[in-house]
Amino acid sequence: MNNILDNFTIKEVFTQALNGKQPYPHQLETAKNLVEGRSVVLRAPCGSGKTEACYVSLLLGRNANIPNRLIYSLPTRALVDDVAQRVCEGITRTRYPIGVSCQHGANPGDKLFEKDIIVTTIDQLIGAYCCTPLSLPVYQGNIPAGAAVSSFLCFDEAHVYDHMLGLQSMLVLVERAAELELPFLVMSATLPDSFIEWFGVNEKFGDRLAIVEGKDDDVPKRRNRRVVLRWKGKLLECKDVLDCANSWKRIMVVCNTVDRAQALFGLVDEVLKNQGFDVFLLHSRFLDKDREKIEKNMKACLKNPNKKTCLVTTQVCEVGLDISCDLLLTELAPPDSLIQRMGRCSREGGEGEVWVFEVEHCAPYNEEGMEKSGKYISERLDHKRVGWNEELEFVNTLLEVEFEQIMNDKKLRLSILRSLGDSAFTGNRRGIEDCVRDILTTNITIHDNPDELKAADLLGMPWIDIDVRVLNNRMKKMNAKFWLVKFERDEEGKLTRRLFTTYEALPYEYYVIPSYYSAYSPELGLMLSSGKTGIKLEPSREKPKEQEAWISRDEAWIDHVNACLKMFDLFKLRESSSLKLLQKLLGLSELQTEGVVALCLVLHDLGKLNVKWQKSFGINESNSSPIAKATNERRRAKPPPHATISAYATYCLLEDLMKNNIPKTYALHLAIGHHHHTRAERGCDYVLGWLNIADKKIMEVSAEYNLNVDVSLIKDQDYDANLDQSFPGIEKIDEYSMYCVVSRFIRLCDRAASKIVENSKNSAGIQ
């Protein structure tokens, strides 16, 4: 092993993270392979510590064969919160100085992907990778992209990703990671052999990938677990739940749709409570604050084996929820879903039973798959103990051929890459979502008079995601009319909204439903039917965050450049794996690679030396010190573009530095041009002044980093300074990765430098 393991062996770090428990063989094997520089595909039973296998590997190998940042992606928001908490607790026990964050739509805690470990959803990762973030303005998209292209990527619960979309998008990213020789980790309990074998024979991975398999016998709680499956061959009814309440204390009921779960909960809730049960309903149509409260109370009850508890839920239980019941009643589902549900029965060992019921309608699954699943269970698993071997055989028998076709469908994967490329080129968020999942959701809230609400109040309403097909089906049955809301910003950046009445919803939009056709309850969630009553949803009282205040004092151009370089010295440590990747792509020494970034920082605001830009703030050519930042009061006119001018004026210098390598040149050129707006291309006529100041700084940095730079190649004036292209093609993996990494450095250092200079002036008492 390398020196990074001198203080702690792999086993010792695992034991710390696991709170004194010994690691399992598959955890050790996963870590060993990752630390030695190989990617890993890990298939192991539910509840066997796959999460620990991931983050402990980072602790052991970061900054060596593993990048210093981990992006841990999951299929759902609820999973993100659970896993992030689990990772935080484990990291705390190891005492490693590692920062952990959550990043998803309802909890955007790390929009720029700055922490050491970012736990996020698959769509957030894909959006970040494509410079089209889902939680940031698109013009800032190249900041998280620099992290996404250079990090250690983990894809957990991979079986839950949409097989034709999200799974293919994941494969696009892992193939690109392999091409850049970056490690990745794919984990699941319920993927068939054909999925695993594809990785083993793919030439792109070769001997840089290891397949790791977990076993029931290696995990004590799985080894001592005896779960018997019973095929009921009938529909799940209220009576089935009530009858078993006399013999079982911890009961879990899983329905395939929210409506079924709500209806069943309504029938059993009061009866079971009268028998001493705590009864909970959990599904996807709760507000986040209510769902968190339900999960917290429900978990506390289920952890107490002496407490009578019944949970009625849906597919939301299938992944990530670390809960255990003694009896599981579930509607029929495909094998991967059923196995995940079964993983919640006797999760900590002991005896339990799973009762599988027929369904009247196959939705949300396809009919053929449901028929095969029911036939297999009734003929081969009924009244049998089901362990890891039986689960794998179930998955392989029914999903082997399907996944073999999916994994070998190069045409589909190329189509996904093209779609991602198109979305990246245009900054199309909907296009990103369309490459991740086919469950087309839209946003709804409840209000009777949205006309009375201001735009900010309307946007601040509690919004709930719902499948647009479900919404339209229910609204059509009630012949319900509702409102479409279009949020826009005017030329001054002020938020506005327009309302349109409609009878049909479209994906990704915002709709207001009258209370006659909808209701909300903290116990039941969102309900769609006429005449319901529930609490009235009100706008959030939290004030929207204002834009950053204008700098309070002027800042000289050279002072800003020096501040950026100072911040770069700090970011070198935080972004060391990005620099390592950039070094490989540029083919330069470590010192020269750092020098290229430092040079880009000197050049990024060169466009502010445009005489017109300086004049817009009252600075004339007679002034000896041009500015880079100014107070709003100093502004005389709207300043012309400067970032694109910087890129345009320095293209020939960069081309000479990169020895006429066009992809490398364009990567640096566009990174400079996009340090305010990703995809900017419009410039203007310009004349650069004060070049003696810039030339001196350029030569100073060039000497420090051993770069050969010709300042005479800077184009000091032109009348048509537009960029030739607005964005690098995502299919050009080297150029795209260089662009993202350099863009991230420029923008992070630029932002941080402005704040540092401003704070230092304020602390010095300058008002």
Tens digits of residue pLDDT in 712-765: 999 999 998 999 999 999 999 999 999 999 999 999 999 999 875 444 433 322
- Nearest CA-CA partner of 187 in 74, 104, 322, 335: 74
Mean pLDDT confidence for 12-28: 94
Report d(CA 431, CA 690) in Å as an integer: 44
Domain-located, residue 46:
yes
Residue 226: its H or E element: strand 225-235
Q: Quick one: 189 and 247 in the same domain?
A: no
Q: How confident is the model at residue 534 (pLDDT cuts 50, 70, 90)?
A: low
Report d(CA 430, CA 269) in Å as an integer: 40
Q: Give the model's pLDDT for residue 679.
A: 94
Q: Tokens at residue 592, please?
A: 């020269």
Tens digits of residue pLDDT in 502-520: 999 988 789 999 999 999 9
Q: Give the model's pLDDT for residue 489.
A: 65
DSSP letter string, 84-133: HHHHHHHHHHHT----EEEEETTEES-TT--SSEEEEEHHHHHHHHTT--
Q: ∠379-383-384 over CA atoms, to 5°?
A: 90
Are the C-beta atoms of 130 and 424 separated by less than 8 Å?
A: yes
Q: Quick one: 641 and 561 in the same domain?
A: yes
Residue 496: its H or E element: strand 495-502
Q: Quick one: 204 and 326 in the same domain?
A: no
Q: Tokens at residue 749, please?
A: 């250092």
pTM: 0.88
Domain-located, residue 533:
no
> Strand ranges (DSSP E) for 448-493?
464-467, 482-489
- Continuous H helices in 121-245: 122-129, 142-148, 166-179, 193-201, 220-223, 238-244
Domain-located, residue 267:
yes
Is the pLDDT confidence value at 97 over 60?
yes
Q: Distance from first CA to last CA of the chain, Å, rounded?
A: 56
Q: How confident is the model at residue 544 (pLDDT cuts 50, 70, 90)?
A: very low
- Nearest CA-CA partner of 354 in 375, 334, 327, 393: 327
Domain-located, residue 380:
yes
DSSP secondary structure letter of residue 153: E
Q: Quick one: 180 and 99 in the same domain?
A: yes
Q: Tokens at residue 554, please?
A: 């002027």
Are the C-beta atoms of 309 and 298 separated by less than 8 Å?
A: yes
| Residue finishing a domain among 386, 418, 451 | 386
Tens digits of residue pLDDT in 128-147: 999 999 888 889 999 999 99
Report d(CA 532, CA 528) in Å as an integer: 8
Task: Spell out the SS3 assignment of 544-559.
Answer: CCCCCCCCCCCEEHHH
User: Does 734 or 225 have the greater pLDDT score?
Assistant: 734
Question: How many domains is the chain built from?
Answer: 4
Domain-located, residue 674:
yes
Tokens 């919803």 belong to which residue? 505
CB atoms within 10 A of CB 658: 20
Q: Quick one: 477 and 619 in the same domain?
A: no
Report d(CA 688, CA 609) in Å as an integer: 5
Helix (H, G, I), strand (E, B) or coil at 350: strand
Lowest-confidence range among 214-218, 411-415, 582-586? 214-218
Residue 42: its H or E element: strand 39-43
Q: How confident is the model at residue 8 (pLDDT cuts 50, 70, 90)?
A: low
Q: Quick one: 162 and 232 in the same domain?
A: no
Mean pLDDT confidence for 67-78: 91
Which amino acid, residue 686? Answer: Y
- For a pLDDT cut of 70, what percent of the chain falls above it? 94
CATH code at 594?
A: 1.10.3210
- Nearest CA-CA partner of 740 in 654, 671, 664, 648: 671
Distances (CA, A) of 72 to 36, 37, 75, 119, 185: 20, 18, 11, 5, 9
Are the C-beta atoms of 287 and 464 separated by less than 8 Å?
A: yes
Q: Quick one: 257 and 357 in the same domain?
A: yes
Mean pLDDT confidence for 281-302: 92
Q: ∠595-600-603 over CA atoms, to 5°?
A: 125
Helix (H, G, I), strand (E, B) or coil at 725: coil
Helix (H, G, I), strand (E, B) or coil at 35: helix
Domain-located, residue 277:
yes
Mean pLDDT confidence for 679-698: 96
Q: What is the mean pLDDT of the chain?
A: 90
Q: Quick one: 148 and 287 in the same domain?
A: no
Which amino acid, residue 395? Answer: V
CATH code at 115?
A: 3.40.50.300
Give 520's strand partners.
526
Q: Tokens at residue 758, please?
A: 């401003």
Q: Quick one: 196 and 245 in the same domain?
A: no
Are the C-beta atoms of 356 and 235 separated by less than 8 Å?
A: no
Q: Quick one: 264 and 361 in the same domain?
A: yes
Phi and psi at residue 24, to the nearest 5°: -85, 155
Q: Give the model's pLDDT for residue 540.
A: 66
Q: Residue 649's domain spans which residues?
A: 555-763
Q: How confident is the model at residue 533 (pLDDT cuts 50, 70, 90)?
A: low
Is the pLDDT confidence value at 336 over 90?
no
Q: Which residues contact 127 (CB under 8 A, 6 or more apart)?
A: 133, 134, 429, 432
Helix (H, G, I), strand (E, B) or coil at 316: helix
Are the C-beta atoms of 511 and 442 separated by less than 8 Å?
A: yes
Domain-located, residue 300:
yes
The radius of gyration of the chain from alpha carbons, rounded to an integer in Å, stands at 28
Residue 74: its H or E element: strand 70-74
Is the pLDDT confidence value at 525 over 60?
yes
Q: Quick one: 508 and 605 in the same domain?
A: no
56-66 in b/e burial notation, b at 16+ Cβ within 10 A?
bbbbbbbebbb
- Nearest CA-CA partner of 50 in 75, 80, 81, 29: 29
Are the C-beta atoms of 419 and 431 separated by less than 8 Å?
A: yes
Count the alpha carbons within 13 Å of 336 in the hemisphere toward its beta carbon.
Answer: 23
Domain-located, residue 738:
yes
Are the C-beta atoms of 507 and 442 separated by less than 8 Å?
A: yes
Q: Give the model's pLDDT for residue 330.
A: 98
Q: Give the model's pLDDT for residue 545.
A: 44
Q: Quick one: 700 and 588 in the same domain?
A: yes
